[in-house]
A = this chain, B = another copy of it.
Amino acid sequence: MGLSSRSAVAIHALTLLARWGGKSLTSAEIADSLESNPVLVRRILGSLRDAGLVWATEGRGGGWTLAREPRQITLHDAFAAVEPGPILSRHPHPPSAECEVGRNIQALLEVEFQDAERAMQERLGRTTIADLRQRVFDIERELGLKR
């Protein structure tokens, strides 16, 4: 089935915050764009806050803002903040040490899986929130011209 959709939600929220510049948005406003729930948003944005990607201010008039420039936040930053642990699962329990393959395969697979995960993360690290914001701008501008 794959991983959770938290990365998609996180990237969406970060792009939304970037879209509105320094303006702070409430979890309810972000939830509106996601057609989701403010509590869900606060949980995911909470992870982003713990990772140093956003700020939250409490109380009346509070909300969320980016803690860094959009071009200093990559998709991998968002991914790593909300998706803990490895992507590819290892053996559910250690294989048999009696078997030539069993006693060696875990260490060999670990290297392969880490390399594969790293390749994905590197690719995610090449796109920034500023890139996504720019593309949203471009698409919207083009639509505006056609109208």
13 contacts between A and B (CB under 8 A): A2-B3, A2-B87, A5-B91, A8-B89, A8-B90, A12-B101, A19-B100, A35-B96, A36-B92, A75-B116, A100-B136, A108-B136, A118-B123
> What is the CA–CA distance of A46 and B90 in the complex, to the nearest angstrom?
20
Kindly list chain B residues whose C-beta atoms are within 8 Å of the C-beta of A19.
Answer: 100-101
| CB of A93 within 8 Å of the partner chain | yes
Copies of this chain per assembly: 2
Q: Are B100 and A2 in contact (CB under 8 A)?
A: no
Q: Are B34 and A95 in contact (CB under 8 A)?
A: yes
6 smallest beta-carbon distances between A and B, as pairs: A120-B120, A119-B123, A5-B89, A33-B99, A116-B123, A119-B119
Q: Are A88 and B3 in contact (CB under 8 A)?
A: yes
Shortest C-beta distance, A62 to chain B (Å), equals 21
CB-CB contacts below 8 Å: A61-95 with B: 75, 79, 85-95
Q: Are B127 and A112 in contact (CB under 8 A)?
A: yes
> Given the known A-B contacts A7-B88, A109-B8, are A101 and B33 also in contact in the complex, defined by CB atoms under 8 Å?
yes
| CB of A50 within 8 Å of the partner chain | no
A4-21 vs B, Cβ < 8 Å mask (1 yes, 0 no): 110111011001100100
Spell out A's residues near B (CB within 8 Å). Answer: 1-5, 7-9, 11-12, 15-16, 19, 32-36, 75, 79, 85-96, 98-102, 104-105, 108-109, 112-113, 115-124, 127, 132, 135-136, 139-140
